[in-house]
Amino acid sequence: MSDTSSSAAPTERPDSYRSRAGDFFFVGAAGMIMLLGAVMLSNLRVAAAVALGLTYFAGLFLRYYSLREAVPVAPGVTFNEEQLQKFERLRAVLNALPQPVMLLDARDHVQLSNPACARMFGKDVAHSHISTVIRAPAALDALPAARSGGTAREVEFVLPGPRERSCLFYAAPLPGGEPANRGRLLVMVRDRTAQKKLEKMRTDFIANASHELRTPLASLLGFIETIENHAKDDPAAQKRFLGIMRAQTERMLRLVRDLISLSAIELSEAEMPAERVDLTETARAVCDMLLPIAGEGVLHVEADGPVTILADRDEVIQVIQNLADNAVKYGGEFPSVTIGVGTGAPPTMPGALRSGDTLHAVAVRLGVPEAQVAWVRVADQGEGIPRTDLPRLTERFYRIDAEKSRKKGGTGLGLAIVKHIVQRHRGGIQIESVEGQGSAFICFFPPAALAQK
């Protein structure tokens, strides 16, 4: 905790003010004179009177020396040992707070601050004027309002920098019972960037989900009205409309299924799976499952042998299936999809644009050598992905071509599900693409050897 009286560490005792020492000497001198007078009046010996005087003076000196060791709060105000211990406990509590907390004097200079201030603002804020720490008019206007109104004020402001942060500024006046507290304000700043981001994601999610469900529902209602009126005596039109209605219903079912799946994954995201799964065998199983849809010769598995990982097998199947299904759908007129499995560094596309996690980042996160990290790579030879779309592909409901995706039965949640499954496994996902040549999706998984750590 920083303060204007000392920059020492919490356990050190700074030099004290000696403004009260004169009082002790004055009282001591007066007391000694009175003592000597009383001794002489009682006919005691002079030597005894001097001895008593020296004893009294020694006591005063020792009292002054103990005062010199006390910690000052302000000129002429010191702490005794009990008060010092209480103060240091309060200081430890303040330093432990994760949010920046400052005490401002009547002129808005920082008298006290905790280490969180330096972490947020990138500098020691002690002795600084608050306007040099927080350059936000809304926050600065809250200070005089808190003083004049005698109540706390809260405002939101944006903290500029390499990464803009949305913050909540709280200013409250100290109780005015003591003269030293008049005009002082307690200021706290809370970073709400992550919370704001979550709120925006929630709002966007509800809006997108409502839109995705509203469109097929409106279509169904329109076809029902048509069948009831204009096409009630037209069997051919009824058959065609019922086929469209069936397709729209299936689309809604897929969307609801994906929403439920995504919610279930998010609920269990804090629990890392511990099942031993053969990634190579799982990739071959997915190829067999997609054979009726993709056709012969479209899907190929490339692996040197078994690769055992710590995973949830059903979720790994969902990852590979979602990626392979997308590769078949968007792999061109005659798709060719390769599912590679291995450990260490995966193959790369020359000249590709990349987005997402790197092998090195995943290895550091797992605490294992890069050579032990397992991966599955699904590559196609389609149109590739534009540079501007690459970073956003794993967002919910994000589509490069929304109309094309709907026609192919996509819900816009497939890659979001893949990302959350991989995150639950403490792995990572990397996307690489060359426009006109194709794209590849690489998912990293923890090796089975991690279970022994």
Q: 294 pLDDT exceeds 80? A: no
Residue 209 and residue 183 in one domain: no
Residue 56's pLDDT is what? 63
Give the whole-angstrom CA distance, residue 32 versus residue 89. Answer: 40
Q: 74 pLDDT exceeds 60? A: no
Of 192, 213, 228, which marks where a domain is finished?
192
Residue 5: inside a domain, yes or no? no
Residue 4: inside a domain, yes or no? no
Residue 352: inside a domain, yes or no? yes
Residue 167: inside a domain, yes or no? yes
Give the whole-angstrom CA distance, residue 13 versus residue 19. Answer: 18
Residue 244: inside a domain, yes or no? yes
The residues facing 162 across adjacent strands are none
Residue 14's pLDDT is what? 41
Closest CA to 275 of 305, 322, 321, 315: 315
Residue 224: inside a domain, yes or no? yes
Are 55 and 35 in contact by the 8 Å Cβ rule? The answer is no
Give the whole-angstrom CA distance, residue 345 versus residue 357. Answer: 13
For 240-252, write each residue's pLDDT tens digit: 888 888 877 877 8
Q: Output the DSSP codes for 352-404.
A: -EEEE--HHHHHHHHTS-GGG-EEEEEE--SS---TTTGGGTTSTT--SSHHH
Are 248 and 275 in contact by the 8 Å Cβ rule? The answer is no
Of 150, 168, 192, which marks where a domain is finished?
192
Residue 277 and residue 328 in one domain: yes
Residue 310: inside a domain, yes or no? yes
Q: 406 pLDDT exceeds 90? A: no
Residue 343 and residue 239 in one domain: no
Of 192, 221, 255, which marks where a domain is finished?
192
Please, which pLDDT band fits residue 24 given cuts at 50, 70 and 90? low
Residue 388 and residue 429 in one domain: yes
Residue 306 and residue 161 in one domain: no
For 179-214, write each residue's pLDDT tens digit: 667 888 999 999 888 888 778 777 777 776 776 677
Please, which pLDDT band fits residue 428 given cuts at 50, 70 and 90? very high
Residue 306 and residue 440 in one domain: yes
Residue 120's pLDDT is what? 87
Residue 298 and residue 241 in one domain: no
CATH number of the domain that residue 202 is part of: 1.10.287.130
Residue 318 and residue 411 in one domain: yes
| Torsion sign over Cα 304, 305, 309, 315 | positive
Average pLDDT over residues 113-122: 89
Residue 181 and residue 302 in one domain: no
Residue 33's pLDDT is what? 63
Are 182 and 106 in contact by the 8 Å Cβ rule? The answer is yes
CATH number of the domain that residue 111 is part of: 3.30.450.20
Q: 68 pLDDT exceeds 50? A: yes
Give the whole-angstrom CA distance, residue 453 versus residue 451. Answer: 6
| Kind of pairing between the strands at 153-159 and 308-311 | unpaired
Give the whole-angstrom CA distance, residue 114 versus residue 92. Answer: 9
Residue 323's pLDDT is what? 92
Residue 344 and residue 405 in one domain: yes
Q: 110 pLDDT exceeds 90? A: yes
CATH number of the domain that residue 377 is part of: 3.30.565.10
Q: 66 pLDDT exceeds 60? A: no
Residue 140's pLDDT is what? 92
Q: What is the DSSP letter of 231?
A: T
Please, which pLDDT band fits residue 11 given cuts at 50, 70 and 90? very low
Residue 429 and residue 369 in one domain: yes
Give the whole-angstrom CA distance, residue 241 versus residue 169. Answer: 58
> At a CB cut-off of 8 Å and minimum separation 6, what does 442 contact?
346, 375, 376, 377, 429, 430, 431, 432
CB atoms within 10 A of CB 102: 26
Average pLDDT over residues 53-80: 57
Residue 294: inside a domain, yes or no? yes
Residue 307's pLDDT is what? 92
Structural domain containing residue 353: 272-445
The angle at the Cα of 385, spanning 383 to 386, to the nearest 5 degrees, equals 115
Give the whole-angstrom CA distance, residue 184 versus residue 106. Answer: 5
Q: 78 pLDDT exceeds 70? A: no
Closest CA to 109 of 185, 160, 182, 178: 185
Please, which pLDDT band fits residue 61 given cuts at 50, 70 and 90? low
> At a CB cut-off of 8 Å and minimum separation 6, what does 16 contact?
67, 68, 69, 70, 71, 72, 78
Residue 335 and residue 410 in one domain: yes
Give the whole-angstrom CA distance, residue 139 versus residue 158. Answer: 10
- Domain tally, the chain: 3
